[in-house]
Amino acid sequence: MKTGRGRASAPLQGVKVVELARILAGPWAGQLFADLGAQVIKVESPAGDDTRGWGPPFVTYADGSEDAAYFHAANRGKDSVVADFATAEGQAKVLELLQDADVLIENFKVGGLVKFGLDYQTLKQRYPKLIYCSITGFGQDGPYSQRAGYDFIIQAMSGIMDVTGESDGPPQKIGVAYADILTGLYAAIGIQAALIQRQATGLGQHIDMALFDVMVGTLANQALNCLVSGESPHRIGNAHPNIAPYQSFQCKDGWIVVAVGNDQQFQRFAELIDIQLLEEWRTNKGRVEDRHALAAAISRRLSHWDCARLLLALEENGIPGGPINSISEALSDPQIMYRRMITEHIADDGTALPGLRCPIVFSDAELAEGKGAPRRGRQ
């Protein structure tokens, strides 16, 4: 893999972002801008971002102070400034930062910044080119707009929990706060689109991001399955609602995933594990309709295979499959290591911190790598 050294500068170098956000969705968007080369100034209250205390585990600095690993996951590459919005001095400090800023990201409750004079309607008069991105649970309007929105609640309300988990078990949330993370990513996309539009109009604008919108908007095939059929999908464990076999199976010494994507792959798979290719299993439509009998037949055959031997055979025959790794195993996977996804960031006091690389690789641009998450009030 190319390292990127010696290539062009980071794509967003010269862009300035002021982040009035905490926890995850807003900081995730800000972190992506920092990865892409923007100057990101995280404005924190005197108490700091809540996630600084969301541990253990904690990262310990040379002077003995600590910040939670959670905080480091969403704040690399930024500077930190402390400002108390409740004071005139704190408000003035934010306004000074905005003098030459391109973007403001905030995730206060709807109307929460009005009393400080930091809301969009107020700031656009002073900074007409400012792109102002608000991230809330339910958006700036609508019957739920005044509700607080947390990732877990959003997952519950969006329908994703109803299709996650075993069919005979309770609904399950996803193991990572993806409502927050996806909203952060969509926010970054929206902001960059607004930056491009500003080149033509000369004006900024307000971007209204809602976790609930994003989580429903990313239901993808499950949403369309419902809209087209009129029937609400439900949990089917690790199986796929539209493809079969596309699920986990237990081998003699562990679990693997088989992800057959077309009829030709299934024919090779059936020959490999020696199951009878019934007429109803020759097409994906037939396999989905007869998924339970099909899965039972596959399970009987795979119970005699070792995971490693089966995975090698799948690869040799062009049949998609993979192991079910722990997070530790995924982080140490040879492909992840080769792609340099695990990296090291340096804190302002020189403390070396383990971290992840932004998963974007450019042919002619650099990522802004190496700078860790800031301590409160530090650059």
Which of the following is catalytic: 168, 180, 263, 333?
Answer: 180
User: 318 Cβ partners below 8 Å, 6+ apart?
Assistant: 265, 268
**Known catalytic residue: 263?**
no
Q: Indicate the pairing of strand 246-251 with strand 254-259.
A: antiparallel
- CA distances, 241 to each of 16, 47, 163, 224 (Å): 44, 46, 10, 12
The answer to whether residues 26 and 74 touch, using CB atoms and an 8 Å cutoff, is no
Nearest-5° Cα angle at 283, 278 to 284? 115
- CA dist 80 and 23 (Å) reads 14
Q: State the sign of the Cα–Cα–Cα–Cα dihedral 228, 233, 236, 237.
A: positive
Closest CA to 182 of 205, 206, 216, 157: 216
Q: At what angle do helices 263-273 and 291-302 cross, to 10 degrees?
A: 40
Residues with a known catalytic role? 180
